[in-house]
Amino acid sequence: MFLAVLAAMAIVVPALNLLLPPASLLHIPGQTVELLGKYLCYALLALAIDLAWGYCGILSLGHGAFFALGGYAMGMYLMRQIGARGVYANPLLPDFMVFLNWKQLPWFWHGFDHFAFAALMVVVVPGLLAFVFGALAFRSKVTGVYFSIITQAMTYALMLAFFRNDMGFGGNNGLTDFKDLLGLPLQAPGTRAALLVATILALAGSYLVARLLVTSAYGKVLVAIRDAESRVRFLGYRVENFKLLVFTVSAIMAGVAGALYVPMIGIINPSEFRPEASIEAVVWVAVGGRGTLVGAVLGAVGVNYLKTVVTTGLLAPFWLFVLGGLFIAVTLALPKGLMGAREAIRKLMNRPTSVPSAIPEAAE
């Protein structure tokens, strides 16, 4: 059902956007296509978090770092495509480097003029960071709230580093003013529609990978680790290896989400590393339903749609209060999220009606 909805969306939305005139009632404007693409990128991030947290109990408050690193890898490719069309018309250096008097391109920027290399870095950089970070943490048996704290410290440290102008990533302003993607103008309606389809395909593929993992024997061990890690370890399983694999796969999914997000939005800057951004993503998963995969997607889309509605009205300054209230309400009333409520309603509707038995006569 979920994949069918994604398939229909990939066909119907671009068709209504590109084939119908703007005057038509069924026409979907480009702004809506862009907004939907943004929601689905967030949905992919939420899916990645749910894979690690919902099925293995790894509560990461730093997945925004993997999302941002994937975004920066794509942003570097897009900056290299600008060439001499920048403000300073320098074909070798991005505008911000010319402004800061950089004399040559840093070594870590080489290769990003090729899409294949950038796509590889989208996967390798977040995955490698997660692998190294996870190996150190899991082999040291760092679990629970302590792991959550150090992931938050990691993303905060990266945010401070990327804010520095001498890091070579644009400092506070980040990377922006993109022109082309694979030779196609980013602002063209067809390119926007193609980005939406690519995001849908990435979400569908990631969902299939996650579903394959959690429904396999490996997934059963993950759930056992989530529920009773010490017992699984006592049975002889190398718990840290199981956790390391799922954490790395989750980080790669987050990196892909960030890479799709950047050309859709048109900018990437250090604010994407904010710890509160990672915390907000965890709230999406909790609202939708932890350990359900589909619930994480619904939570991300639903909460971000609510954010769009709230922040474009009079309640814009109070969005964080609305988000906090939503999280508290869901935690108290729907501890298993929206998907849990759906299952509860289904069980209630399918429960057979009990027929009262005859009251036995009192013994004389």
Higher pLDDT, 72 or 323: 72
- Range 80-96 burial, b when 16+ CB lie within 10 A, else e: bbbeeebeeeeeebbbb
- Of the pLDDT bands very low, low, confident and very high (cuts 50, 70, 90), residue 348 is low
Structure tokens at 169: 């990533």
Cβ-contact 285, 292 below 8 angstroms: no
What's the pTM value of the predicted model, to 2 decimals? 0.91
61 is a domain residue: yes
- Of the pLDDT bands very low, low, confident and very high (cuts 50, 70, 90), residue 364 is very low
Q: What is the chain's mean pLDDT, rounded?
A: 90
Cβ-contact 254, 47 below 8 angstroms: no
Mean pLDDT of 177-184: 90
332 is a domain residue: no
> Residue 104 sits in which domain range?
31-275
Give the three-state DSSP class for 117. Answer: helix
Taking only the tens place, the pLDDT of each residue in 51-69 is: 999 999 999 999 999 999 9
Mean pLDDT of 124-129: 97
Q: How many residues does the chain have?
A: 364
9 is a domain residue: no
Say if residue 157's pLDDT is above 90: yes
Give the three-state DSSP class for 338. Answer: helix
- Of the pLDDT bands very low, low, confident and very high (cuts 50, 70, 90), residue 363 is very low
- Of the pLDDT bands very low, low, confident and very high (cuts 50, 70, 90), residue 146 is very high
Give pairs for 4-9: CB < 8 Å, separation 24+. 6/200, 6/203, 6/204, 7/204, 9/36, 9/200
What are φ and ψ of residue 351, in 5° steps? -70, 130
Cβ-contact 175, 169 below 8 angstroms: yes
207 is a domain residue: yes
Q: ∠ at Cα 109 (108, 113), nearest 5°?
A: 140
Q: How many domains does the chain have?
A: 1
220 is a domain residue: yes
Say if residue 280's pLDDT is above 90: yes
Kindly report the number of other CB atoms within 10 A of residue 188's CB atom: 13
Rounded CA-CA distance 310/296 in Å is 21
123 is a domain residue: yes
Q: What is the pLDDT of residue 354?
A: 54
What are φ and ψ of residue 180, in 5° steps? -130, 155
Q: What is the pLDDT of residue 341?
A: 74
Query: In this structure, is the dihedral angle defined by the CA atoms of residues 303, 273, 36 and 338, taken in order, positive or negative?
Result: negative
CA 246 to chain centre: 15
Q: What is the pLDDT of residue 246?
A: 96
Q: What is the pLDDT of residue 4?
A: 94
Find which of 116-130, 229-243, 341-355 is predicted with most confidence, using mean pLDDT: 116-130
167 is a domain residue: yes
Say if residue 200's pLDDT is above 90: yes
210 is a domain residue: yes
Nearest to 128, CA basis, from 248, 279, 25: 248
First to last CA, the chain: 61
Taking only the tens place, the pLDDT of each residue in 14-37 is: 999 999 998 889 999 999 999 999
Q: What is the pLDDT of residue 344?
A: 65
Share above pLDDT 90 across residues of the chain, in percent, rounded to a whole number = 70
Say if residue 330's pLDDT is above 70: yes
Residue 333 vs residues 50, 213, 345, 364: alpha-carbon distances, Å = 20, 30, 14, 50
Residue 203 vs residues 110, 129, 157, 199, 208: alpha-carbon distances, Å = 29, 22, 29, 6, 9
Query: In this structure, is the dihedral angle defined by the CA atoms of residues 178, 184, 187 and 190, taken in order, positive or negative?
Result: negative
User: Half-sphere exposure (CA, 13 Å, Cβ side) for 50?
Assistant: 32
Taking only the tens place, the pLDDT of each residue in 225-263 is: 999 999 999 999 999 999 999 999 999 999 999 999 999
Find which of 39-43, 172-176, 227-231 is predicted with most confidence, using mean pLDDT: 39-43
